[in-house]
Amino acid sequence: MIENLEYDAILEQFKRILRENGLKYTKQREVLIKTLYNSDEHFTPEKLYLYIKEQYPELNVGIATVYRTLNLLEESEMVTSISFGTQGKKFELATKPHHDHMICKKCGLIVEFEDQIVEKRQLGIAKEHGFKLTGHMMQLYGICESCSKNNIKGR
């Protein structure tokens, strides 16, 4: 079991959100939040479902539970997602420090990065336009080094 105050706080917030939405706190939902907490991966609902089924075969977790729980967590701003159009969304826990993403259009690799100059410039642009910035999500698309070396064209 994870002994971590941050995780305990996340779990309490999760339980509160479930209660407020008339949903039960179950072992399946606990494993979902624990998996997101312990992973740096960006999960599609399907990949998360398969991971939980593989890691916790004793749990009878359903794909609908995964989708419902992820949607609730996103609405509650406990998770964030990156949209991949027709390929769907990939989710991560929102407790990480702010970061942006570079996404390979060929293989789907996601590289997280932080850049204080970019952050400062965004605040300046918002200020220039009289806009109070409350948050943002930057996604840069291209072809990763590995796909470039293999001379694979992007979509």
Q: Is the pTM of this model over 0.85?
A: no
In this prediction, residues 93-121 reach a mean pLDDT of 83
- CATH 3.30.1490.190 residue ranges in the chain? 97-155
CATH T-level topology, domain 97-155: Dna Ligase; domain 1 (3.30.1490)
Copy the structure tokens of residue 29: 């939902």
What pLDDT, on a 0 to 100 scale, did the predictor assign at position 5? 60
- What whole-number percentage of the chain has pLDDT above 90? 47
Which strands, in side-by-side order, build the sheet including 110-113? Answer: 110-113, 100-104, 139-142
| 9, HSE (Cβ side, Cα atoms, 13 Å) | 5
Mean pLDDT of the chain: 86
- Predicted pLDDT of residue 153: 55
For residue 3, pLDDT over 60 is answered with: no
Q: Residue 22 in contact with residue 16, Cβ under 8 Å?
A: no
Residues forming CATH 1.10.10.10 domain(s) in the chain: 1-94
Q: How confident is the model at residue 14 (pLDDT cuts 50, 70, 90)?
A: very high
Third-level CATH fold of 1-94: Arc Repressor Mutant, subunit A (1.10.10)
Read off the pLDDT of each residue in 52-68 and give the average, rounded to a whole number: 94
CB within 8 Å of 65: residues ≥ 6 apart: 26, 28, 29, 32
CA Rg value for the chain: 18
62-66, 81-85, 145-149: least confidently modelled range = 81-85
